[in-house]
Chain A
Amino acid sequence: MSGQDPVEIFRQEAQELFEEIEQGLLDLAHRPGDRDLVDAVFRGLHTLKGSGAMFGFDALAAFTHHCETAFDRVRKGEVAATSELVGAVLACQDHMRALAEGGAASEATGEMLLAELHRVVESAGQASSAEVAAAEPDLNTWRVRFSLPADALVNGTRPLPLLDELRELGDCQVTAVTDNIPDFDILVASECHLAWDVTLVTKHGRDAIEDVFIFVIDDMTLDIQAVGEASVEAAVVEKAVVEAAPSAAAPIAAPAKDEAPAAGEGRKAGGDTVRVPAERLDEMMDRVGELVIAQSRLKQLAASSSDIALRAVAEEIERLASEMRDTMMVVRMVPIAQLFGRFRRLIHDLARDTGKTIELSTEGEATELDKTVIERLADPLIHLIRNSADHGLETPEQRLAAGKSATGNIVLAARQSGAEVVITITDDGRGVDRARVRAKAEENGLIQPGQVLSDSDLLQLIFAPGFSTAAAITNLSGRGVGMDVVKRTIEGLRGSIELSSTPGEGSVVSLRIPLTLAIIDGLLVRVGTGRYVIPLSAVEECVELSVEQDMRSTGRSLITLRDQLVPFIRLRSLFATGLAPDPHQKVVVVAVGQERVGLVVDQILGDHQTVIKPLSSFHADVGTFSGATILGDGGVALILDIAHLVAAGQRSDAQLRAAS
């Protein structure tokens, strides 16, 4: 495999930095006094500048330098992190992204943004200096001891500027501690064996001292004590690198940096993680898929063989393939926080553009989903959130008039439910106006004038192709913009979408998405001579359908399960096998949400690890099947689209009920 392009590596790193910086800025808009956030943003900008310069992105480095300088002033308490400042840096960040991507970023735009930043910093600076003047703090004496890891100098860490920065904080006495320098004969001359003992008299607090070490704090030993302060109260940062090379100059006390800044966490964790291009994971998943198919063939061969050793190996391979599959799944899983994080900026911009006050809250950010699914969910979610903010939520005046708080709320939540993840987008806006939906649908010819529809069917019209395009000009109907595309994308992920809405109270869009797209556990069944796979996650139970029951239910297809009537579909009829049913047919009861449907099959063959191969684009509109898989004997089985079949079963049952 060839190495990655360094420029591409930088762009990937920059992408992560942009996200960190953006999250920090957006949090800062809510918590302007949070020093950890200021530090995180400053660190991000500083790293971006350094990496940019290193990879030859000189324009980016130069531009970022200005933002870094602005944030340095925030860090030093000279400038307040006002929302105006945050907005200006966010705008600058967009320009930095363009510079990092190497696109046509206009120099004039850059200059304009910097001029605005300069103006904002100056006005924020005046406000801040007034605050500082009002509360001039007393002088404190601090004893600071620190040592750097052995590889610090090789890695480019320069202790002298750190000492200079300490001197800038106040009256400073610096003593180099050379006791740990090894004997000349065994000295590794490029390693750092020095430590420092510093006495500092300053009006600044502990935070300001820690700030000096902001870029090296994770890998060093730092002990800051107020003179007279007990050592147990000392702030000591002790990391693994230093544990390997203890320094006498740095006594160890209780770690006091447990609550590291959120944005900093990710950077630190980077030491234990490996960045892998997504396509390599996909290749690996393909290989695992092939392994699973080969294992399936081996299992079949072993079953027909009397060779005990072969059977034992087949069982071992089956276990390993299964574990490999599970591991692969986990490798591809990423927390949905990655996705949710992007929407905070969207909301920030939407609030600015619409003049609304919008609060976005998220739940279940730790929920994990396959990385491919996450990537493909981004666009539909942007549509849905934009619709909620733009069209669902009222203006502050309208909200107040309706007796609501002026701030509109959007809740983005994720939770795992079996082999699915349920994502909901909830707003407390005006809700869907049914009358206008109906009017628009009639106008577009989607329904006949006066046609009777259930409430859920009426809401489903929003997802119909053709509903939205012309409706974009009106406020309410804007909810339909792109909803058909959203629905198609979600269904393309083998997921489903539902909308519920209460007039005046808001709407909830629920997406049910499978955890992964690549391999599922399936129930292999036979219908006639064909074999099919039912996703095991949807299977509730299997019951026998006797010939008598089958005969009794020829008209209305219903079976009774624990006093509940469940409609069923005869797959034999649906697939027109033309063969007589087996005498002991089985009903596989499957469910999607609250809806249940029985699928009548001739035989249940057993469970099957199913590597999903998508159907060709020619078959994209075949609703009954969601894909195909290769069986152990080389044959092909179609995978049933459960959501489609359940909807069909429920629909026919509703029609029969209406007719009877």
Chain B
Amino acid sequence: MLLAGVEHNLITFVGDLTVSNIVQAHEELGAALRQDGPVVVDIDGVAEIDLTFVQLLESARRKAAETGRDLTLRHPADGAVLEVLRRGGFLDNENSQRAQFWLQGAAQ
């Protein structure tokens, strides 16, 4: 189960988020974005991700920025997610909006 629950535009992902179930994650995140108000993504319970998830959130982040929506992570990325971001070169510039989104100013 990817979606543990949506409460007031809080979308919670748990378990593995990889190419095998990313389409479902896309639909669920899309549903959350179609609602009014800020969207908060909780990835604390995510065990493993691959680049499709990073790509999905990147696309969502940019969409939100373009449409003036507020999309944030509930907590800064850490653990397995942080490791993928680091290895994939997504955090190269800590001042970029991309790195700010994932790290929320937290140290790498």
Residues of A within 8 A of B (CB): 153-154, 158-160, 163-164, 173-176, 178, 181-185, 187, 189-190, 192-194, 196-198
In Å, the complex CA distance between A182 and B56 comes to: 10
Q: Would you call B3 an interface residue if the criterion is a C-beta within 8 Å of the partner chain's C-beta atoms? A: no
Q: Would you call B74 an interface residue if the criterion is a C-beta within 8 Å of the partner chain's C-beta atoms? A: no
Q: Is there an interface contact between B88 and A193, defined as CB atoms closer than 8 Å?
A: no
B10 shortest CB reach to chain A, Å: 18
Q: Is there an interface contact between A183 and B63, defined as CB atoms closer than 8 Å?
A: yes
Q: Is there an interface contact between B23 and A160, defined as CB atoms closer than 8 Å?
A: no
Q: Is there an interface contact between B88 and A159, defined as CB atoms closer than 8 Å?
A: yes
Say whether, besides A175-B92, A184-B62, A196-B89, A153 and B84 are in contact (CB < 8 Å): no
**Cross-chain contact of A160 among B51, B52, B62, B63 (Cβ < 8 A):** B51
In Å, the complex CA distance between A39 and B25 comes to: 39
Give the most central of B55, B59, B84: most A CB within 10 Å. B55
What residues of chain A lie closer than 8 Å to B90, measured between beta carbons?
176, 178
**Cross-chain contact of B92 among A174, A190, A193 (Cβ < 8 A):** A174
Chain B 45-86 near chain A by CB (<8 Å), digits 1 or 0: 000001110111011101100000000000000000000100
Q: Is there an interface contact between B23 and A163, defined as CB atoms closer than 8 Å?
A: no
In Å, the complex CA distance between A184 and B60 comes to: 6
What residues of chain A lie closer than 8 Å to B22, measured between beta carbons?
189-190
Q: Is there an interface contact between B30 and A184, defined as CB atoms closer than 8 Å?
A: yes
In Å, the complex CA distance between A159 and B92 comes to: 16
Q: How large is the interface on B (under 10, 10 to 19, 20 to 34, 35 or more residues)?
A: 20 to 34
Query: Which 9 pairs, one residue from A and one from B, show the smallest C-beta to C-beta distance?
Result: A174-B89, A184-B63, A189-B26, A176-B89, A189-B22, A184-B59, A175-B92, A176-B90, A160-B87
What residues of chain A lie closer than 8 Å to B62, measured between beta carbons?
181, 184
Q: Would you call B19 an interface residue if the criterion is a C-beta within 8 Å of the partner chain's C-beta atoms? A: yes
Q: Is there an interface contact between A174 and B52, defined as CB atoms closer than 8 Å?
A: no
Say whether, besides A153-B51, A176-B89, A184-B63, A190 and B19 are in contact (CB < 8 Å): yes
In Å, the complex CA distance between A197 and B54 comes to: 17
Q: Is there an interface contact between B92 and A189, defined as CB atoms closer than 8 Å?
A: no
Q: Is there an interface contact between B88 and A163, defined as CB atoms closer than 8 Å?
A: yes
Q: Is there an interface contact between A189 and B88, defined as CB atoms closer than 8 Å?
A: no
Q: Closest residue of chain A to B26, judged by CB?
A: A189
Mind listing 26 A-B residue pairs with CB under 8 Å?
A159-B88, A160-B88, A173-B92, A174-B89, A175-B92, A176-B88, A176-B92, A178-B55, A178-B90, A178-B98, A181-B55, A181-B58, A183-B63, A184-B30, A184-B60, A184-B62, A184-B63, A187-B56, A189-B22, A189-B23, A189-B25, A189-B26, A190-B19, A190-B22, A194-B51, A196-B89
In Å, the complex CA distance between A194 and B55 comes to: 8
What residues of chain A lie closer than 8 Å to B98, measured between beta carbons?
178
In Å, the complex CA distance between A163 and B84 comes to: 11
What residues of chain A lie closer than 8 Å to B26, measured between beta carbons?
187, 189
Q: Would you call B40 an interface residue if the criterion is a C-beta within 8 Å of the partner chain's C-beta atoms? A: no
Say whether, besides A153-B51, A190-B22, A174 and B58 are in contact (CB < 8 Å): no
Give the most central of A154, A175, A182: most B CB within 10 Å. A175
Identify 12 new A-B residue pairs, CB closer than 8 A, beyond the known A159-B51, A190-B19. A154-B19, A163-B87, A163-B88, A163-B89, A175-B93, A176-B89, A178-B90, A184-B30, A184-B62, A187-B26, A189-B25, A190-B22
In Å, the complex CA distance between A93 and B92 comes to: 45
What residues of chain A lie closer than 8 Å to B23, measured between beta carbons?
189-190
Q: Closest residue of chain A to B24, judged by CB?
A: A189
**Cross-chain contact of A187 among B59, B84, B87 (Cβ < 8 A):** B59
In Å, the complex CA distance between A37 and B39 comes to: 54
What residues of chain A lie closer than 8 Å to B33, measured between beta carbons?
184
What residues of chain A lie closer than 8 Å to B55, measured between beta carbons?
178, 181, 187, 189, 192-194
What residues of chain B lie closer than 8 Å to A187, measured between beta carbons?
26, 55-56, 59
What residues of chain B lie closer than 8 Å to A182, measured between beta carbons?
59
Q: Is there an interface contact between B89 and A175, defined as CB atoms closer than 8 Å?
A: yes
In Å, the complex CA distance between A154 and B55 comes to: 14
In Å, the complex CA distance between A187 and B62 comes to: 12
In Å, the complex CA distance between A192 and B84 comes to: 15
In Å, the complex CA distance between A181 and B90 comes to: 14
Q: Closest residue of chain B to A181, judged by CB?
A: B59
Q: Closest residue of chain A to B53, judged by CB?
A: A189
Chain B 9-51 near chain A by CB (<8 Å), digits 1 or 0: 0000000000100110110001001000000000000000011
Q: Closest residue of chain A to B87, judged by CB?
A: A160
B44 shortest CB reach to chain A, Å: 21
A203 shortest CB reach to chain B, Å: 22
What residues of chain A lie closer than 8 Å to B63, measured between beta carbons?
183-185
Q: Is there an interface contact between A153 and B50, defined as CB atoms closer than 8 Å?
A: yes
Q: Is there an interface contact between A190 and B87, defined as CB atoms closer than 8 Å?
A: no
What residues of chain A lie closer than 8 Å to B19, measured between beta carbons?
153-154, 190
In Å, the complex CA distance between A263 and B88 comes to: 32
B103 shortest CB reach to chain A, Å: 14
Q: Closest residue of chain B to A197, judged by CB?
A: B89
What residues of chain B lie closer than 8 Å to A197, measured between beta carbons?
89
Q: Closest residue of chain B to A198, judged by CB?
A: B89
What residues of chain A lie closer than 8 Å to B52, measured between beta carbons?
153, 189-190, 192
In Å, the complex CA distance between A196 and B92 comes to: 11
In Å, the complex CA distance between A174 and B26 comes to: 27
What residues of chain A lie closer than 8 Å to B56, measured between beta carbons?
187, 189
What residues of chain B lie closer than 8 Å to A159, measured between beta carbons?
51, 88
In Å, the complex CA distance between A163 and B22 comes to: 22
In Å, the complex CA distance between A183 and B60 comes to: 8
**Cross-chain contact of B51 among A164, A173, A185, A192 (Cβ < 8 A):** A192
What residues of chain B lie closer than 8 Å to A185, measured between beta carbons?
30, 63
B34 shortest CB reach to chain A, Å: 10
What residues of chain A lie closer than 8 Å to B30, measured between beta carbons?
184-185
What residues of chain A lie closer than 8 Å to B58, measured between beta carbons?
178, 181
Q: Closest residue of chain B to A177, judged by CB?
A: B89
In Å, the complex CA distance between A324 and B93 comes to: 64
Q: Closest residue of chain A to B66, judged by CB?
A: A183
In Å, the complex CA distance between A190 and B50 comes to: 10
A420 shortest CB reach to chain B, Å: 55
In Å, the complex CA distance between A193 and B62 comes to: 14
In Å, the complex CA distance between A489 and B80 comes to: 65
Say whether, besides A153-B19, A154-B19, A174 and B88 are in contact (CB < 8 Å): yes
What residues of chain B lie closer than 8 Å to A173, measured between beta carbons?
92
Q: Closest residue of chain A to B27, judged by CB?
A: A189
Q: Is there an interface contact between B59 and A164, defined as CB atoms closer than 8 Å?
A: no
What residues of chain B lie closer than 8 Å to A189, measured between beta carbons?
22-23, 25-26, 52, 55-56
In Å, the complex CA distance between A182 and B50 comes to: 18
Q: Closest residue of chain A to B29, judged by CB?
A: A184
Q: Closest residue of chain A to B63, judged by CB?
A: A184
A156 shortest CB reach to chain B, Å: 9
Give the most central of A173, A184, A190: most B CB within 10 Å. A184
Q: Closest residue of chain A to B96, judged by CB?
A: A175
In Å, the complex CA distance between A193 and B55 comes to: 8
